[in-house]
Structure 1
Amino acid sequence: MSTEQTVPDEIMTAMAKAVEQGRAGDTRAAREALEQLWESVGDHGDALHRCSIAHYAADLQETVTDELMWDERALAAVTDLTDERARKYHDSLQVRAFLPSLHLNLADAHRRAGNATEAQHHLAAATETVHLLPDDEYGQMIRAGIAKNHAALGENAPTQPPPHRQ
């Protein structure tokens, strides 16, 4: 996500700070900061906030069970998110482009938890939507994650349609 914002957003700024804290190695403090943000937003608060907080909180969990809970929250929140709301934060965001990553994260966590059927379901959803991503570094990372999970499940990765061009 670009750092350019259309509208300043204190929750997104605090979330980005927590994510950087986690990337710097202080995962416990980052996890606690994101959990506090989640509590302040609430289960029915702003969908962009819920989706983003849950998406990043999942990466900081100590157990795959907790990771799955947060990944499921992120996917549930995205169903309430509109392009109009996302573009108030940054004018380049499209909600449908969130789906490949959200489904990939669920597929990977379910695979690691031993839930092959659920993993395959979410991997199929990620594969079906990955064409929405451009052929940039981020899109390539998601495509590589999809291929890795197909291989880990003993599947051949389906041939991908060309990346989405804007």
Structure 2
Amino acid sequence: MNPDNPVVRLCARGMRAEADGRADDAHALFRQAWEAAGDDYEACVAAHYLARHQPTPEETLRWNQECLDRADRVGDDRVKGFYPSLHLNLGRAHRDLGRPDRAREHFARAAALVDALPPGPYGDWTRFAVGEGLRATGAAAPRPGDADLTGLLERLCARADLKALALILPAHLADLGTDEDRTRLSTALHMVHAARFLPEDEQATLSRVIGTLTP
């Protein structure tokens, strides 16, 4: 986004207010951005931030849908990278309203588009959030080793085994159910297994989970 754009500047000021805990100021700045928007692109940007400061799930959904509609009207490369988060936010809004089928649809769309995001913290966070949404709405088909892996992660978290968690958790949280994701998770588990720093029973659990991930 162009930092010199007046709507973007207002949204940036709103985000700073948000970070400072000044929610009312943030909302007012985002509302100013919406009122100052001169085209669909600027309206899309403003609507995205306004959606974060709505009093009801229904209003949150309305502004997220407005954001998507405006992005569709823009229809060029300026909004290409917006779509994973647009569908993620709509998925969350529908889930909060008790509409799992609609939520699942948007989470699946976000998953199909998330690889368009550049590598980095924002792309990782979006991918983790999409994965959580898919699992929460049953869009991600369970795998045979999921229960074993969940139990192992709970044990690692309980004793704060940061070394093992640092290797396994990113691949697990970013798993959207693709073959590439399965390979990434299997590789992470192989690395921990090969290091042999876990207790024997956990090494055995790793072996079982790795076996379920091997084609």
Name the TM-score, length of structure 2 as normaliser: 0.62
Give the aligned partner of residue 53 of structure 2: 60
Say which SS state the counterpart of residue 4 (structure 2) adopts: coil
1:15 paired with 2:11, answer: yes
Change (3 A) 1:47 1:160: farther
How many residue pairs are counted as aligned between the two chains?
146
Give the aligned partner of residue 154 of structure 2: none
Give the aligned partner of residue 46 of structure 1: 39
1:159 paired with 2:178, answer: yes
Distance 1:144 1:63 in 2: 25
Shift of 1:58: 1.1
Distance 1:68 1:146 in 2: 17
Equivalent residues of 2:7, 2:36 under 8 A apart? no
Say which SS state the counterpart of residue 54 (structure 2) adopts: coil
Equivalent residues of 1:100, 1:125 under 8 A apart? yes
Change (3 A) 1:25 1:118: same
Give the aligned partner of residue 65 of structure 2: 72
Distance 1:70 1:77 in 2: 10
Percent same amino acid at aligned positions?
Answer: 32
Shift of 1:30: 1.2
Name the TM-score, length of structure 1 as normaliser: 0.78
Q: How does 1:53-132 map to 2 (within 5 A)?
A: 53-83=46-76, 86=78, 95-132=79-116
Runs (4 or more) in structure 1 with deviation over 3 Å come to none
What residue ranges of structure 1 are gaps of 5+ in the alignment? 87-94
What residue ranges of structure 2 are gaps of 5+ in the alignment? 141-175, 182-215
1:32 paired with 2:28, answer: yes
Change (3 A) 1:13 1:155: same
Q: What is the RMSD computed on CA atoms of the aligned residues?
A: 2.1
Equivalent residues of 1:107, 1:120 under 8 A apart? yes
Distance 2:44 2:55 in 1: 20
**Which fold has the larger relative contact order, with Cα–Cα distance below 8 Å and residues 6 or more apart in sequence?**
1
Equivalent residues of 1:100, 1:142 under 8 A apart? yes
Equivalent residues of 1:97, 1:132 under 8 A apart? yes
Shift of 1:60: 1.9
